[in-house]
Structure 1
Amino acid sequence: MKHIEKGVGLRSAPRDFLRDLNGDNLSAGIVAGIFGLSAGIIHISAGTAAGLDSHFIMIWVVSYLLINGLFGLFVPAYYRLPLPMANSIPGALLFAAIIPVVGLEAALGATLVAGAIALVAGLAGVMSLVMKLIPMPIVMGMVAGILLKFGLNMVAPLESALLPAAIMILAFFLSARLLRRMPPLIVAMLAGIAYMAMSGVDLTGVEFSVTLPEFIMPEFTLEAFLAYGLPLALILVGMETPAGVGLVKGMGYKEVPANAITAVGGFATMISAFFNLHSTCIAAPATGICASPEAGAQDKRWVAAVITGAIFMLGAPFYGYVVSLIQAMPGYFMAIIAGLALLRVISSAMQMTFMGKHEVGAMFSFLIAASGLQILGIGASFWALVLGVFVSMIFEARDFEFTLGRPWAKRPSLEKRSG
């Protein structure tokens, strides 16, 4: 346990939560929570495409919200940092695809082993080495590539839904300039809701339902571990933690508990394996929202992550109702809100990507992540890091700290070197 970073503790967390709660972190937490709820639709789509049973798909999503929401309450409260917890979306796609091949129990057995690997990696303190092997510009290149689609999705409705999109975006920027005490995200959400109310949103398809997680006993098979468990472990340790840590550091936090995040995610993933869930890890897009300047003062942004966890837990049993409500709303609404919430995060990620060190590898990482390509069934985020580091090691070996034994030094541009 000596490698696990110490936090502030939980004893005074309730009192500090009430002390630090304000309109900015409340609005950011609500947006991140709603975003996380809407992300469950990805699971539904992936499960449906794989031919999985609809009842299983629903308890899968409910477990995702309940388990990750629970850990999402304690981790940010203990460290007083914006560290919301969720699950791996690339892992979810792999999970849905492997179940018809090896069976549910075997897939969950592989999840259990992957969680154990992540737990051991965190306890052993290997994340400092991982973060050295994957330099921050390359991590932020991957993050910028992932988040780019949220920015593009924010402006895309200007083509198909010009009036409501313009109203929401203008409301955000005008309120940021004129209404200093009113969080811009809340103003944009209210403007969008007001427009939908006036235009008449059809809510007749909204249905109330209650679903709870179900216990299941995993089974281990070598086939499932090699096809799914090992890639999931690599994703949790080599992609999810670096992406989340990179986002938080990119927002100005100097100390981020990478080992603890990995260990807690691994432990929670092991628990998840008994409840039809494939993983628990730091939530990269939600982290971007909770850690962004829109969440208010830096030392109070942890409250937004706790609120996100609470929304997950409260929404979990009623997710069938939440899904029907989200599906009844126009697609542009959440796309615009998420894009506005991540604007400054995207900007910071871009700046850190192209800050002059590992520039070729960072560019490669950014392009791969933005492309959305898949190799061997593994998503672009993972390959952005792997291939970004590979390219940088070939063309920019001197930029790696461990090769020189000293901090990174600013290097001339590729054009100058080639001359």
Structure 2
Amino acid sequence: MSPLSRIRAAAPPSTVAAALIAVTVGVTSAAAIVFTAARAAGADAREVSSWMLALGVGIAVTSAGLSLRYKAPVLTSWSTPGAALLATSLTGVSMEKAVGAFMFSAVLITLSGLTGWFARVMDRIPVPLASALLGGVLLDFGTGLFSQMGGSFAIAFPVFVLYLLARRLLPRYAVLVALGGGVVASVLTGGWHLERVRLSLAQPVFTAPEFDWKVLISVGVPLFVVTMASQNLPGVAVLRASGYEVPVSPVLTWTGAAQAVLAPFGAFGLNLAAITAAICTGDEAHPDRRRRYLAAVWAGFFYLCVGLLGATVASLLTAMPHALVLAVAGVGLLATIEASLASALSDLASREAAVVTFLATASGVTLLGIGSAFWGLLAGVLTSVIASVGRGRRAAAPAPVAVSDSASAPQPVAAASRTPEGA
């Protein structure tokens, strides 16, 4: 194989584009929250930059390492709900105690992987419910493509049209074509503000952890619960809905261990990605599902670049048109949303539970600091359990009989005469 062929095999354009879009979506949608959380703990500019470096390195190592190990697109990310939680709960908490809480949460995640209890829970979740959960998580991004046409039509509409045309003419590069067209459109409309970009490299800042039991209970435990329920749970659902049976326990063990090692430098939460992972697991990443793991490997590389550039990311976020990010994410997830809805509604017996899961997840409700992905799945499981009890009782009940005037013996009513449930 020639060197050029090897490069093409290792870096297919559609795969690299999917990775770049996934990282762009992940960073632009959550980096500001991470900065807010760091500031809440009293971090200065150097420490904020160190947080981004630690998170970037952690995501790069776990994404690339786990994806190469299991030959599946195992993309990790920082905990966005966790960052939102920290932004409100770290006020008045010293950086040393915050780091202690990060390490405590990491130990709990590692123990979840070593004991295997989380994997056992996930094994009992039906595929239609997992697919409905994925569809609900991604709904906002799908509708975001069209909602952006109201205020940024000149950017969102070209992205949509170019995607549709490329899907028919160059299906492997549809998202890449849409991204290129969106960049051109946003430049022509003056959407970019490159004067705000400042280039600077991040440096690690070590903070010795301090373990205060009050902070461990009030910050560490909620951080663990939110990360597991709002990130790892839908992250596993994304992989399984896409047909990747990756062993859950080792993945949790490695992400927890990586977080524990990098916590003194600011890695508050490392977990499976959900929305951005869906970009890497779909057909747009690569037509051969066995090669889509390369998208997660490249995403890890781009996250490493994000971490190294640290403070530069913040300035770039303010320069990039938000409409461009949402529009490209929307077209990149169209095929995944279609597949998840088709899978969710494929089984008549679990269709009601899947719809409940989808609607509750898409609602965005947050209760007790836990996001809608957890509550949507809980609502779907509850619906499925109650429905199965009802079906069991109907099956156990004696069949009704009808007595004819012409015969004294009872005849069972024809089952075909009843309308199938859910028709």
Give TM class, smaller chain: 0.7 to 0.9
Identity of aligned residues (%): 26
Equivalence for 1:326: 317
1:164-175 alignment runs, 5 A limit? 164-175=155-166
In structure 2, the CA distance between the partners of 1:380 and 1:223, relative to structure 1 (3 Å rule), is farther
5+ long unaligned stretches in structure 1: 1-14, 401-414
In structure 2, the CA distance between the partners of 1:16 and 1:283, relative to structure 1 (3 Å rule), is farther
Equivalence for 1:289: 279
Instruction: Please give the per-residue CA displacement for 1:216-275, whole angstroms capped at 9, x wherever unaligned.
Output: 12222332233232233334444433322221222233x222112211121122123222
The 10-residue stretch of structure 1 (336-345 or 130-139) with the greater mean CA deviation from structure 2: 130-139
Matched, 1:75 2:63: no
Equivalence for 1:62: 53
Deviation at 1:340, TM superposition (A): 1.1
How many residue pairs get aligned? The number is 389
Deviation at 1:397, TM superposition (A): 4.9
Equivalence for 1:259: 249
Query: What is the one-letter code of the residue matched to 2:189?
Result: S
Equivalence for 1:220: 211
For the 8 Å contact 1:358–1:396, the answer to whether it is kept is no
For the 8 Å contact 1:98–1:107, the answer to whether it is kept is no
In structure 2, the CA distance between the partners of 1:300 and 1:132, relative to structure 1 (3 Å rule), is closer
In the alignment, the residues of structure 1 paired with residue 6 and residue 251 of structure 2 have an alpha-carbon distance, to the nearest angstrom, of: 22
In the alignment, the residues of structure 2 paired with residue 16 and residue 393 of structure 1 have an alpha-carbon distance, to the nearest angstrom, of: 51
Query: What is the one-letter code of the residue matched to 1:185?
Result: V
Question: In the alignment, which of 359, 368, 378 is matched to residue 376 of structure 1?
Answer: 368
In the alignment, the residues of structure 1 paired with residue 263 and residue 169 of structure 2 have an alpha-carbon distance, to the nearest angstrom, of: 49
Instruction: Please give the per-residue CA displacement for 1:364-385, whole angstroms capped at 9, x wherever unaligned.
Output: 3322322222222222223323
In the alignment, the residues of structure 2 paired with residue 399 and residue 317 of structure 1 have an alpha-carbon distance, to the nearest angstrom, of: 57
1:342-381 alignment runs, 5 A limit? 342-355=333-346, 356-381=348-373
Instruction: Please give the per-residue CA displacement for 1:287-337, whole angstroms capped at 9, x wherever unaligned.
Output: 101111001111111111010000111221213223322321221101111
Equivalence for 1:131: 122
Equivalence for 1:12: none
Query: What is the one-letter code of the residue matched to 2:196?
Result: G
For the 8 Å contact 1:146–1:370, the answer to whether it is kept is yes
In structure 2, the CA distance between the partners of 1:101 and 1:313, relative to structure 1 (3 Å rule), is same
In structure 2, the CA distance between the partners of 1:227 and 1:136, relative to structure 1 (3 Å rule), is farther
Q: TM-score, normalised by structure 2?
A: 0.83
Query: What is the one-letter code of the residue matched to 2:221?
Result: L
Q: TM-score, normalised by structure 1?
A: 0.83
Instruction: Please give the per-residue CA displacement for 1:22-79, whole angstroms capped at 9, x wherever unaligned.
Output: 2221221121122233234342464389585452444323322222122222111111
Query: What is the one-letter code of the residue matched to 1:389?
Result: V
In structure 2, the CA distance between the partners of 1:154 and 1:46, relative to structure 1 (3 Å rule), is farther
In the alignment, the residues of structure 2 paired with residue 249 and residue 121 of structure 1 have an alpha-carbon distance, to the nearest angstrom, of: 19
In structure 2, the CA distance between the partners of 1:188 and 1:52, relative to structure 1 (3 Å rule), is farther
Matched, 1:148 2:161: no
Deviation at 1:138, TM superposition (A): 3.0
Instruction: Please give the per-residue CA displacement for 1:177-209, whole angstroms capped at 9, x wherever unaligned.
Output: 1135x6111111111122233333332222222
For the 8 Å contact 1:133–1:389, the answer to whether it is kept is no
In the alignment, the residues of structure 2 paired with residue 195 and residue 335 of structure 1 have an alpha-carbon distance, to the nearest angstrom, of: 14
In the alignment, the residues of structure 1 paired with residue 150 and residue 139 of structure 2 have an alpha-carbon distance, to the nearest angstrom, of: 18
Query: What is the one-letter code of the residue matched to 1:183?
Result: Y
In the alignment, the residues of structure 2 paired with residue 172 and residue 26 of structure 1 have an alpha-carbon distance, to the nearest angstrom, of: 17
Structure having the higher Rg: 2
In structure 2, the CA distance between the partners of 1:23 and 1:397, relative to structure 1 (3 Å rule), is farther
Question: In the alignment, which of 13, 22, 41 is matched to residue 12 of structure 2?
Answer: 22
Deviation at 1:387, TM superposition (A): 3.9
The 10-residue stretch of structure 1 (39-48 or 239-248) with the greater mean CA deviation from structure 2: 39-48
In the alignment, the residues of structure 1 paired with residue 141 and residue 391 of structure 2 have an alpha-carbon distance, to the nearest angstrom, of: 31
Query: What is the one-letter code of the residue matched to 1:279?
Result: G
Equivalence for 1:409: none
Deviation at 1:213, TM superposition (A): 2.9
In structure 2, the CA distance between the partners of 1:42 and 1:399, relative to structure 1 (3 Å rule), is farther
Q: Provide the aligned C-alpha RMSD in A.
A: 2.9
For the 8 Å contact 1:241–1:258, the answer to whether it is kept is no
The 10-residue stretch of structure 1 (213-222 or 353-362) with the greater mean CA deviation from structure 2: 353-362
5+ long unaligned stretches in structure 2: 393-418
Equivalence for 1:196: 186
For the 8 Å contact 2:230–2:372, the answer to whether it is kept is no
